[in-house]
Structure 1
Amino acid sequence: MWRLFSYRNGFIQNEAVMIFLFFCLQAAVQVRSEGTPPPPRDVHVDKGQLTWTPGSEDADLTYRVGYRSFDAERWTAVPGCVEIHSNSCNISAAVAEPGCFMFRVRVQGAGMGSPPVRACSSHGDSCSPVFSLTPGPGSLTVHLSRNNSLSRMYGDFAKHRIYFGKEGESLQIYGDTAASEFMDKLEAEQRYCVQVQHIVYGKPYGLASCRRCETVRASDDSRRAAIIAGVSVVLALLLLVPVMAYLLIFHQRNIKQFLRPPCEISLFLEPELRTRIPILSNTKEHYDPISSISPPGSPDSA
């Protein structure tokens, strides 16, 4: 009995400890989530100037800019762009190393940092792809060029990585290609976005382009069917209106006669009608009563 009581008491104590640790962990996660500053938005590079939009209006927040090449594993802080309060950094003057790099920005505040946000390139250059989009009927074409320094340097090992998705959604990797890409079987009147980045030996190289979005048009068959349906409705109205006007103006009586319901006298009213209809007689006319009628040719008929 004593052993059973001790076992139950120990189990209750362990359960209480576990509940206490669970609530402590929940409180720590909640405090950390509330204290984590929001990440920056619209991080992009334009002519050597890295710019972003603060995710919060808190003046105590600072920003840290990092960079790395495609074959490096670690990010390096950009000189002069560490723990800064401004929302821009001149990377062309800060990074003196030759080559193409990727950049990212993170927010620091209250001893905590936000998730880093990678920068994109607003204008194509030797380190960022130059491309254009052409929407078609149910399709979208990404025009790419192989006439760049990476293709001349690395040959077929240099390609373009296309990120693709609907507007407002996160972009997913569509595929790696060396030339232009044609995307078909897309939803009509839907807006799609594309982002392109150089890859060398299967790894991202340089800045990815900022996303561009276009609206996909309806297919030619759908547009042709809609046009035919609209023309048919217009022609039907043009023919129906004059015919209806002619019938209402010149055949109004016939239409009323046709629409008039038939009127029949019920049989059970006949005896009553017969009793009510008077039989008129002319009292001035004289006639002899006929007692019998013989058929023609008989002796009595003579």
Structure 2
Amino acid sequence: MSEPDVGSYRRPDNLAEALTLLDRRPASVLAGGTDLVVLRADGTVDRAHDIVDIKGLSELRGISRDADGTLTIGAATTLRELAWTTVVPPNAITDGAALVGGWQTRVRGTLGGNICRASPAGDTLPGVLAAHAQLELASTTGTRLVPAHDFFTGPGRTVREPNELLTRVIVPASRGASAYLRFTYRRAMDLAVVGVAVHLEIENGRCVAARVALGAAAATPVPAPEAADALVGTELDKPSVAAAAQLVLNTATPIDDGRGSRAHRRTVLPVLAKRAIGIALERAREGHPR
């Protein structure tokens, strides 16, 4: 029996070289490798594909904030770096980054990898949606910006083409604050049974803008617009928050799987949403700008 065809390992010196390699033949992108190594070993990812290792590309790492408040996160920035950043205050994206796997995973895993893995239960994904982030995809022919809410097409599937690389996550400036919470059965090293991200903007004691996004509640991470709209114009008092939290169920279409039943997920989601709204509100009142 012949040995299976195994692709080559490539470690480009710069972004342009990486894009050329992706354009040349089928390849898998290695950033942290915490998912890719497992998927390649079990055959989910074709081992005949080349591996393009982007870990060493400085163009793809780092967290910066422009004078206008726009936040830019390199796709190869590790989850640990993101969780510990002082460039911005705690927010839904950093909350999610701090929850992925164990510390060993966060040291290796990257924001771009977590996004492109496109797990419905990915912990950074609801925060990226709630932030109205733009995802920059680059290829040898140029770059394009994709709104986060248009990026995910199904479990493990995105609009990224095989010759494209996610290079940056761009979060627009905001006067608000955000938070992400998830429910799991264990404190660490677990996937979200459900997750909720909330973004709030407050003026004169009233909510003037809100966004809510759910994880592990549908085939992709999804916005929950009815819940968000119900918060706008209120003083975020307990009845208003409770009513809005209940409306996440109008968006949620969870399934039964090994981590939880559909019924349990629908029971947990409003409770989690209420708590996430409370944390985002507390951060907004403390003057956090994001």
Does the TM-score normalized on the shorter chain lie above 0.5? no
* Larger strand percent: 1
Q: TM-score, length-normalised on structure 2?
A: 0.28
Please say which structure displays the higher CA radius of gyration: 1
TM-score, L = length of structure 1: 0.28
